[in-house]
Structure 1
Amino acid sequence: MTVALEEPLGANPLTRPRLTWVGLAATALGAVAITALLFLVTPLSGYVAFVLIAAVLYVIALTVVSALVEGWRHAKDRLMMNVLLATVLFAVLALVGVLGYTVFRGLSRFDGTFLTHSMRSVAEADPDGGAYHAIIGTLEQVGIATAIAAPLGILVAVYLVEYSSGRLGRVVSFLVDVMTGLPSIVAGLFVLALWIVLLAQPYSGFAGSLALIVLMLPTVIRSTEEMLKLVPAALREASYALGIAKWITVVRVVLPTATAGIVTGVMLAISRVMGETAPVLLTVFGAQSINFNPFSDPQGSLPLFVFTEAGQPNNTALDRAWAGALTLILIVLLLNLIARTVARFARVK
């Protein structure tokens, strides 16, 4: 015996129509038209302002239209998606804009003469001269700082993760947190007061390296600490089960497993201090001639070179400043590529 349904099954009441590409295009055109009208009747001007206002109006209009057609649930989803896309595009466009403009302005003076000559006996209005002395100084200062800060930071991180369990570990961790937010000029003033004024040492590249060490340490420690925490505990336990001492386990198992992350953390620290100007200005003092000895006399530095040239009232000096900025970016990029290659071949198979 069959029972006939009195009413046919209807559509799902939760189903709502969805916006098509035609609706999206119409909303975008409406936002552009309203923006153009605002620019006609108000003093607003500029391409950047036009794009920003049109984008904001589009997001608002699309949210309202979606709420009317699709429902508030889909409207909230579209709103959050558009906000996320806008923030990503803004970050990417800012990065591309900075890099692109630096390359555009820096290539006009980035040549063999710039890379192989110093500013000794070169007038600021003279189109010649280069940043060879500053490149040598930056490489030596950052190299010395890395050679000291990287192993020291790794040892502190190993202590905090593998051995620390009392008050000393908490104190060290707190001091690392404090140093993370330390302004770079404070690090420079500290080295200036202690190394140069109190101990009567000369301005030198090594003094600048001491200031860079203070800035590098917290980054190396925190990044290495997080990488060591990500090493599975099963690897340590398996090593202990074989009767291997703890320090051998750390050296032969834990550190090789975290090598890629440790190298990345060291490169982040190098990238941070590579462009610091304030500590270098206070400790290295700067020089226009080549000085290969970082332990004696003032020495050049790329950030200081860019700062000095950018402050000169002529276009030739400004072109050298843009070329110096491009050189700094290329050095950081090259060091990152080298570090990635080393980490790739050094990781545990």
Structure 2
Amino acid sequence: MAQDTLTLPKDFLFGFATASYQIEGSTAASNRGPSIWDTFTHKDPSPIADGSSGYIATDSFRRWKSDIEFLRSYGANSYRFSISWSRIVPNGGRNDDVNQEGIKLYRDIIEELVRVGITPCVICFQAFGDLVKHWITHNEPWCISVLGYGHGVFAPGRSSNRERSAEGDSRTEPWIVSHNLILSHAYAVKMYREEFQKAQSGAIGITLDCVWYMPYDESSAERVEAAQRALDTRLGSFADPIYKGHYSASLVASLGDRLPKFTPEEVAIVQGSSDFFGLNNYTSNLTQPGGTDEFNGKIINGFVRPDGTRLGTQAHVPWLQSYPPGFRALLNYLWKTYNEPI
């Protein structure tokens, strides 16, 4: 009986995930157009610590067959990868241009994955929907809006700390980006459900990222509230509209008029626009109030408990510590808060 409780179900997907710019290289091959990451990494001076770019990366454009063999050797039965849109629509979709060389590249990859028994997870309904049954619209939209438009450390490199938006308040831009990412996700889901899902029998959703925020001291109501505010801001800014139909009360109270509003028609499209709760989790943090960064709820994070012990095992980068109980706590929180398959 004990052994049965530790056995994963037969349909459990175990695998790996990559992002196109991080692995493909060959940024000008097969009629690929420039992406915002090309522009960002080629700035002078470079915003990348070692000055590198995705020009070569791990050369997966040429080595994808050996990459799939690596997946097989590690026992993977799933592979989530992203589409380089500048390889599919080099001119950004203008004039309905579609680069057939780009379509063929990803088609070949998907066909090989299916042939060797690895489930592909991507987004591009019409070209690949006969083989792909797991669709993800956006991966980690918080990183796009906050790191790309708030802190400026991701492409396109805009920073609300040093630039002013057209609305006159530069702090507004990341929230406008977040709002429109939610809408673009929801309308993509609407299209899939109306035009493709019945015939293709696939599932579609969005993948959000969140660390587990736990109070530095659970006996402190202020610190407990700070941890909840961090979850409402980092995770809830996307999850609450998609799964509940509205932004959280704490986010509305914090941002006021700077937070865009959904029309009733948009709420009807946004709410319920995911067949599952996609989650990326990296670490857990001990949280207390006092920070200045509104993009995570104005909190201070750390790994050291009040008694001086460390939360988990330190990883190779300073912002990561492994803490398995935190992952379990986050999963339980998601199930209780959103009641969705994760």
Structure showing greater relative contact order (alpha-carbon pairs closer than 8 Å, 6 or more residues apart): 1
TM-score class, shorter-chain normalisation, is under 0.3
Higher strand share: 2
